[in-house]
Homo-oligomer: A and B are copies of this chain.
Amino acid sequence: MKKTLVAMTVATLFSTPVMAQSWLLTDAESGMDKGNWTISSQQLKLQGQPFSIEQKVLHGGKQEGSKVITLRSENGLTIALSPSRGMDLLHVNGHGVRMGWDSPVDEVVNPAYINLESRNGLGWLDGFNEMMVRCGFEWTGHPVSKDGVLYTLHGKAGNTPASRVEIVVDDQAPHEIRIRGLLKEHTFKKANFSTWTELRYIPGSDSFTIHDELTNHSDYPQDYQIIYHSNFGTPILEKEARFIAPVKSVSPFNDYAKQGLKSWNTYDAPTKGFDEMVFNLTPLADAQGKTVAAVINSKGDKGAAIEFDTHQLPLLTLWKNTDTLKQGYVTGIEPGTNYAYPVTIEKEQGRVKQLQPGQSQAFTLTYTLLKDAQAVQKVEQRVKTLQGDNAPQLEEKPLAVE
């Protein structure tokens, strides 16, 4: 652990020409990692909302060597993410509300201990406990074998340790914080994707933004898929919690989900034997393509909302895993380029996107912790406006059979 802080002026690095301090926590190019590390607004002598940022290297079990960065804002949110696991968000807390869930997997598993191919491509389940995990970018969706190649559940990004991690704090109030991490999916002859992930947060706020930029560095067009698998359990998810979003249509993912189609947007209490129901949604958006989806508790005074851009992420999957608490009582709100069918089906049905050589694609999602009835109502109103007069169209037939 180095105790000196390397502060740099990074004015030229970003589009907005603000002055900022930055810290390099990890850099594969020079082979360095700061290990355990911390800063605070107090230490930096910044006025305004107090905050601290800490990187910690974990030990024990299969999390040996995993790193977690925790951003703490006294009056706002505490956000934990893991550079070892694709910069995925572990959990977010604030105002007594938790965005996240309780998975049976209770460690931050180092991908070195995960075999994505195990259980016929379900190895991803050995590490799944995040509030938000990037499912991509070479492929996403349920596993499938094609020509002997096993396309494992939800791709590799979520089990890819970040090659470069940096923290940027704006000099000017309100001292926006950016936690940036670089994910590489580089395989000779197969893929040359880099994704700069960024979490943006203003201390004291109830929202944060994920801004990712995926680039195809190869000289050939490359298919890509991404699902932002965002997961919420108690205290938001509960009996009669509701999912809200402006949608054009809803269809069951498979035959099992058909029987839940009528009540697709309300939740049951933890239910033994429920397993999971998945619904494919086509979101409605405003003129700029912006939309929002949220899960809110039964009283309507707690929730989690995700704003996203349908030009970037045109599809939305709703995952209702309202089995028992111990099984992982959780719902997934999953904006994406794709549904969760295997890549073979997504390709066949024309939903897989492509990047040309050198081309980049940005993905921007704003997550808001809805701490009270007022915050919930604001989102409800926005959904209502976007939905307009047309009720969602319920399609009986699944788009595909796996």
Contact A218 B112 (CB under 8 A): no
Q: How many residues does chain A have at the interface if contact means C-beta atoms less than 8 Å apart? A: 69
Residues from chain B with Cβ under 8 Å of A220 in the complex: 272, 327
Contacts of A68 in B (CB 8 A): 31
* Any B CB within 8 A of the CB of A396: no
> Contact between B150 and A107 (Cβ–Cβ < 8 Å)?
no
Chain B hits for A218, CB < 8 A: 104, 326-327
Q: How many copies of this protein are present in the complex?
A: 3
A285 at the interface (CB under 8 A from B): no
CB closest chain-B residue, reference A33: B59
Flag if A189 contacts B125 (CB, 8 Å): yes
Does A402 belong to the interface (CB within 8 Å)? no
**Nearest 9 A/B pairs, CB to CB:** A28-B60, A61-B163, A33-B59, A31-B58, A120-B148, A112-B112, A219-B324, A28-B61, A125-B188
Chain A 102-138 interface mask (CB, 8 Å, partner B; 1/0): 0111110011110111111010011011000000000
Chain B residue nearest in CB terms to A357: B326
**Chain B residues with Cβ under 8 A from A328's Cβ?**
188-189
Distance between A294 CB and nearest chain B CB, rounded to angstroms:
24
Are B59 and A105 within 8 A (Cβ)?
Answer: no
Provided the pairs A31-B56, A33-B60, A60-B28 are in contact, do residues A149 and B163 lie with their beta carbons within 8 angstroms?
no
Whether A65 is near chain B, meaning CB under 8 Å from some CB there, is yes
A190 near B125 with CB under 8 A, answer yes
Q: How far is the CB of A313 from chain B (nearest CB, A)?
A: 24
Whether a CB of chain B sits under 8 angstroms from the CB of A186 is yes
CA distance A182 to B60 in the complex (A): 10
Known: A112-B112, A116-B118, A187-B105. A219 touches B59 (CB 8 A): no
**Hey, which chain B residues are within 8 Å of A115, CB to CB?**
115-117
